Structure 1
Amino acid sequence: MQQRTVLEILEEKGKINVCAPMVRYSKLPFRELVRQYNCDVVYTPMILADVFKSSEFARETDFSTNARDDPVVIQFAANNGADLADAAELASPYVSGIGKYWIMLLSVDINCGCPQKWAIQEKIGAHLMSQPETVRDMIRTVKARLNIPCSIKIRVHPDLKETYEFVKRAESVGVDYITVHGRTKTMKNTEPANYDAIRFVKESASVPIVANGSVFSTADANEIYAKTNVDGVMSARGLLRNPALFAGYDYTPWECIERYIHLAVGYGTNHFIFHHHLMFMFEDVMSNSERKTFNTLASIPAILDHLETNWGLDVSRLV
């Protein structure tokens, strides 16, 4: 199999559609689903590098994959280069048929944007936005030990001069591309993303820039491209609500929901994740009264029975 980097995909397509790393939700069935709807690059959930490197159980559960999981970016949260590179080396046997699976791990990505308090207390995620030297060391360490592209996902600073310096330090050690979330670490996700800040980073950077934040439709994606001239657009909550977003759908089509059910049941997804994905997908297509009923369903059989009765799901095809 010919392995392509993100840069080569960008060169081929001009611009890329990206599914963001989402804790719990960027699992294998969902990654396979969004690829069927015009997602070019798909991320794993954020994985804790120190846990991944020290726990075989974590490696088996956090990075489940197969030959169809292609291409994929694995995102790690770390606060030092050694943990990050150790974890990346353990993931690398899954690249291009070297090990059990034949997939394309396009990049190791460093999470510099998770704003949750626990992450900041652990000195990972958005904490790293005030630690540019640590991030530079992590990029340098990974690139010295592995022949895999290394990217970072960042937030902007209130003072964009800090963002400029952060990006330049990352570029100095060969970061391959950067995803920019257009909010600071203290902004709520209900606040609009700062497209001017993303454009500033794009105009300042010498590597490709992917924009993240407030992407809920193809119109939103087109607006970001027009206002920032970035090389790609990443969506998180928008794809949860509508995995067919990048294929031009205004809301989740029934065929997409049906495909997810087949994938999730086939892979053995647990009830919590299965239910929540469907709750997101049905948000714009169910009536309020039915949604209230659907959200109380306490088992996968109850969900399937409801969808068979009310939506025509062919349960026999799931066997």
Structure 2
Amino acid sequence: MPTKQLRDLKYRPTEIIKKCKEEGRPAYIAGPMVRYSKLPFRELCRFYNVDIVYTPMILAREFVRNEIARYTDFTTNEADRSVIVQVGVNNVDDFMKFVEMIHPYVDAIGINCGCPIKEQVREGIGAALMSQPDLVADLVRTAKEKYGDAICIDTKIRIHSDINQTIEFVKKVVDAGTDMITVHGRTKNTRSSVPVNLDAIKVVCDTVGSTIPVIANGDCFTLDDFIKIASYTGVDGVMSARGVLSNPALFTGLDKTPWSAVEMFMHLATSYGLPYKLVQYQVAHLLEDIIPKKILKKINEQQNMADLIDCLDEHFVLKRKGEKGFATSVEPQWNLELTSLTI
């Protein structure tokens, strides 16, 4: 059995969840988001006490075959913990190669059985796996037989229209050795505008019992949502994706993005490096509910990083790391001398 292990076991998600239980609460978890859950955003989430953070989904087939994909899809550092790398995969061979390459650099590996994007489903990835419980069980079993406790596996699922199918699916992957289950309480065809099915998540939680942790996913946009979901279902943690994208501080109880998140994100994005358009999109998500639309429109019109920073400096007091009060303000800090907008 491989012994290479670069990550401290105390950051394993199952250990983090145990620690949260000792504190009398479920775990705060930031879910995987295509493009967005890169290293700077993961660190931003941890600045607001998120316990476990996912990477975006990485396609195993591309990762194991393409060196460029490995460099562009995954970056990490010593502060990037607890982190779960999410993988899109449809066969055991690719999965085992992926696990071999990446497991020393992450705290867990999450099998994506929930992504409803049609292109992924056609490839047999994501939600397509919900109709292949035996394949998913094989993925889990084969990896655990080789690596045992050297790896931690999360199986992230959606529910079926018939909850009995979900129960049977869960039983198979638990028997195969998955270390945790994450349940998005919608089917692959359910629109995000339809409320998440908390009863189905509760059934999964009751089915698993205390054998492994169960995480709830869906409709967590505020701390009140977190409390409601956890209380109703009895899960060990609650995951937010769209919620933390707009407000990384939601688990602190703030109901809108604090200005500190904008300053910290700009610091992390420029320090680590991100494609400009991705920085622009994420800044827009952070600001969309806290500044006037005319200023947001102007931010979205900027064509490069220098112009974006100039635009932010024109309208706001955007403090840099090292300046007094950096990343501490809740309300937007307006540059009243330069902005032409009446606040």
Instruction: Tell me the residue number matched to 1:268.
Output: 273
Aligned to 1:290: 295
Which string of whole-angstrom CA distances, capped at 9 and with x for unpartnered residues, describes residues 58-114 of structure 1? 1111111111111211111101111111101101343xxxxxxxxxx2211100000
1:302 corresponds to which of 297, 302, 307: 307
SS in 1 for 2:301: coil
Structure 1 stretches lacking a partner, 5+ long: 95-104
Could you list the structure 1 runs, at least 4 aligned residues long, displaced by more than 4 angstroms after superposition.
315-318
Deviates more, 1:165-174 or 1:199-208: 199-208
Q: Indicate whether 1:160 and 2:163 are aligned.
A: yes
Secondary structure of the residue aligned to 1:306 is: helix
Aligned residue number for residue 64 of structure 1: 75
Give CA-to-partner distance per residue, 1:248-271, whole Å, 9 cap, x none: 211111111100000001111111
Question: Is 1:11 matched with 2:11?
Answer: no
Superposed CA RMSD in Å reads: 1.5
User: Would you say 1:222 and 2:233 are equivalent positions?
Assistant: no
> Which AA in structure 2 matches 1:54?
R
Q: Note if contact 1:77-1:125 (Cα within 8 Å) is conserved in structure 2.
A: yes
Does residue 145 (structure 1) correspond to residue 146 (structure 2)? The answer is yes
Task: Please name the residue that 1:131 is paired with.
Answer: 132
Q: Residue 35 in 1 paired to residue 41 in 2?
A: no
What's the counterpart of residue 100 of structure 1? none
> Offset at 1:225?
0.9
Q: Which moved more, 1:178-187 or 1:284-293?
A: 284-293
Q: 1:86–1:316: structure 2 CA closer, same or farther, 3 Å change rule?
A: closer
Query: Aligned pair count?
Result: 308
**Could you tell me the percent identity over the aligned residues?**
44
Unaligned runs of 5+ in 2: 1-6, 324-343
- The answer (yes or no) to whether the contact 2:29–2:52 under 8 Å persists in 1 is yes
Pairing partner for 2:198 from 195, 201, 210: 195
- Deviation (angstroms), 1:301: 1.3
Query: Matches of 2:126 and 2:42 in 1, distance apart?
Result: 22
CA contact (8 A) 1:304 1:315 kept: no
Structure 2 CA distance for aligned equivalents of residues 151 and 210 of structure 1: 10
Higher Cα Rg: structure 1 or 2?
Answer: 2
2: distance between equivalents of 1:207 and 1:214?
23
1:189-220 Cα distance to aligned partner (Å, 9 max, x none):
12111111111111111321100001111011
What letter corresponds to residue 9 of structure 2 in structure 1? Q
CA distance 1:228–1:260, change in 2 (3 Å)? same
CA 27–303 in structure 1, closer or farther in 2 if over 3 Å, else same: same
Q: Deviations over 1:237-290 (max 9, x none)?
A: 000100111122111111111000000011111111100101100011011222
Q: Which moved more, 1:2-11 or 1:264-273?
A: 2-11
Of 74, 77, 82 in structure 1, the residue corresponding to residue 88 of structure 2 is 77
The one-letter code matched in structure 1 to 2:103 is: S
Partner of 1:102: none
Offset at residue 292 of structure 1 (A): 2.0
Report the alpha carbon displacement of residue 317 of structure 1 after superposing the two structures with TM.
Answer: 6.7
Query: 1:101 aligns to what?
Result: none
Say which is worse superposed, 168-177 or 52-61, in terms of deviation.
52-61
- d(CA) in 2 for partners of 1:279 and 1:249? 18
Matched, 1:23 2:45: no
Matching of residues 96-107 of structure 1 within 5 Å: 105-107=106-108
1:249 aligns with 2:261: no
- Partner SS for 2:128: helix
**In 1, distance between residues paired with 2:73 and 2:321?**
30
Q: Please tell me whether the aligned partners of residues 267 and 321 of structure 2 are also in contact (alpha carbons under 8 angstroms).
A: no
The answer as to whether partners of 2:157 and 2:183 remain within 8 angstroms in 1 is yes
Q: TM-score, normalised by structure 1?
A: 0.93
8 Å Cα contact 1:82-1:141 kept in structure 2: no
Check conservation: 2:158, 2:187, Cα contact below 8 A.
yes
- Provide the secondary structure at the position in 1 that maps to 2:309: helix
User: How far has the Cα of 1:38 moved from its partner?
Assistant: 1.3
| Kept after mapping to 1: 8 A contact 2:103/2:109 | no
Given that 2:60 and 2:94 are in contact with CA atoms closer than 8 Å, whether structure 1 keeps it comes out as yes
Measure how far apart 1:2 and its partner are.
4.1
